[in-house]
Structure 1
Amino acid sequence: MNLEKASIDIVSGSKAGTQIRVLFNPTEYTLDRSNTYKATSIPGLGGPLFHFINGEADSLAMELFLDDYTDQAPGGKTVRDRVDEIAALLEIDNNLHAPPIVRFVWGKLSFTAIIEKLTRKLTLFKPDGVPARATLNVSFKEYRTLPELTINPRLQSADKSKRRVIIGNDSLWLLASREYHDVNKWKVIAEHNDLDDPRDIAPGDWMTIPPLEQDNGSRRRV
């Protein structure tokens, strides 16, 4: 079976369609993902409540190796040429007014991203001082368009009023956290149920949970 080579493909900007071949495949790569949460302190609880804010973009990191003596790049490109070619992907493209979007492709892995960080380490030089060997540590940050981010958002709608019964040590803060994912929205529940004191509730009481309204008066999804 032939060894499939990895590549960095430029997918936007003035150089869209250009492919940068990776002559030495990486020996490993790291995929990283994280989420952002907000911690809110509630009086009387032993710890804060955590509310999901948004998902962060995936990150892909790897080490690439370039060597003039052990691999030959197409077109006679030297290590310095290839390092400069990859480093240029962090520069602002004239057509985009931003660095170009790229796609790292290796076998079944296809990762559309921008290059977030590039560290260049030159380890061998020719007699005239020209670099002949380099190690590149590259960090890619996933890129998705707005339609891609909004498709199947897995959000629930709060566009209908609901009725909830107070159980045990429930509070308006906990109720707002469960229904709106924001404890600060307890005032919405209090005002809708004519509560002057948010603590003036007891187990068995019924609360009406109103839909949230946006600034333009339309109902908001939460």
Structure 2
Amino acid sequence: MDLNPLNLLKHSKGKLTADSKNVDAAHRELSFMFNPKSYKITRRNNFQQKTTAAATEGNDQAYKGAENATLDMELYLDDWEQFFVSEEDSVPHAIETLLIWVGPTESSVGKNLQNPEPPLLHLDWGKKRFSGYLTSVTVDVSLFRKDGSPARATANIAMTASKDWTPKQNPTSGAVQGRTTHTLGEGDSLQSIAYGEYRNPNLWRGIAAFNDIDDPLRVQPG
């Protein structure tokens, strides 16, 4: 029985991209620092119940159509171990970008004050794309630098699909493509694996968090 398994999953990196025509260049794209563990897509049918006072076995329901799909996801943001972090790759910039995407774009406000709208976003991860609008962003900052800027945080985001987006397959099938596993061997460490997978040993904390490892020094081969 293997008491110390360590499976590291190598995914294609996910990203969120805003329509370039509606957003300034500095906030058009957000590449995931670490891919999410999971995400949830929900879609509901709408029915109108025809109530009858004398009904004893329920009432008839009239189908009113399907609601737009919604997507919920938690993003892990961390640049604490990075020796040098550019502004566009930093945690503060990622948080700022998400919060900007919740509000209306400057172009939509400038063109028509009666109909401002947020930017249309495209979530690309694997072979499929989810297109829609951010409906909510909740950021939980857990680590700060000396100047008070956030260095580690989780961001829970919710999106509502645009009217022209339709699901074409099970949403989990796109995420599994290209997945590989890594078993910890003699002499391996999370730092060495982070370098091998991402060419950056400072990303070992994200790997530890992704795999629920509390003490990386006590992880044994196997």
Aligned to 2:136: 117
Measure how far apart 1:103 and its partner are. 0.6
In the alignment, does 2:90 pair up with 1:78?
yes
Higher fraction of helix: 2
Aligned to 1:9: 17
The one of 55, 58, 77 equivalent to 1:45 is: 55
Measure how far apart 1:16 and its partner are. 7.6
Higher fraction of strand: 1
Q: In the superposition, relative to structure 1, how do residues 130 and 45 fare at CA in structure 2: closer, same or farther (>3 Å)?
A: same
Aligned CA-pair RMSD: 2.5
Measure how far apart 1:76 and its partner are. 5.3
Q: In the alignment, is the contact (CA less than 8 A) between 2:35 and 2:75 conserved in 1?
A: yes
Q: In the superposition, relative to structure 1, how do residues 33 and 55 fare at CA in structure 2: closer, same or farther (>3 Å)?
A: same
SS of the aligned residue for 2:106 comes to coil
| Stretches of structure 2 lacking an aligned partner (at least 5 in a row) | 1-8, 109-115, 167-222
The number of residue pairs the alignment matches comes to 147
Q: In the alignment, is the contact (CA less than 8 A) between 1:35 and 1:54 conserved in 2?
A: yes
Q: In the alignment, is the contact (CA less than 8 A) between 1:93 and 1:100 conserved in 2?
A: yes
Q: In the superposition, relative to structure 1, how do residues 128 and 108 fare at CA in structure 2: closer, same or farther (>3 Å)?
A: same
The one of 83, 97, 106 equivalent to 1:94 is: 106
Aligned to 1:19: 29
SS of the aligned residue for 1:133 comes to strand
- In the alignment, the residues of structure 2 paired with residue 141 and residue 104 of structure 1 have an alpha-carbon distance, to the nearest angstrom, of 12
- In the alignment, the residues of structure 1 paired with residue 85 and residue 130 of structure 2 have an alpha-carbon distance, to the nearest angstrom, of 23
23-32 or 10-19, which moves further after superposition?
A: 10-19
65-74 or 92-101, which moves further after superposition?
A: 65-74
| Stretches of structure 1 lacking an aligned partner (at least 5 in a row) | 150-222
Measure how far apart 1:84 and its partner are. 0.3
**Greater RCO (CA < 8 Å, at least 6 residues apart):** 2
In the alignment, does 2:87 pair up with 1:55?
no
- % same residue: 24
Q: In the superposition, relative to structure 1, how do residues 22 and 126 fare at CA in structure 2: closer, same or farther (>3 Å)?
A: same
Q: In the alignment, is the contact (CA less than 8 A) between 2:88 and 2:94 conserved in 1?
A: no
User: Could you tell me the TM-score, scaled by structure 1's length?
Assistant: 0.59
Measure how far apart 1:60 and its partner are. 0.8
The one of 99, 120, 135 equivalent to 2:154 is: 135
Measure how far apart 1:139 and its partner are. 0.6
Measure how far apart 1:100 and its partner are. 0.5
SS of the aligned residue for 1:95 comes to helix
- In the alignment, the residues of structure 2 paired with residue 132 and residue 85 of structure 1 have an alpha-carbon distance, to the nearest angstrom, of 15
Q: In the alignment, is the contact (CA less than 8 A) between 1:29 and 1:62 conserved in 2?
A: yes
Q: In the superposition, relative to structure 1, how do residues 73 and 102 fare at CA in structure 2: closer, same or farther (>3 Å)?
A: farther
Q: In the alignment, is the contact (CA less than 8 A) between 2:45 and 2:65 conserved in 1?
A: yes
Measure how far apart 1:109 and its partner are. 2.7
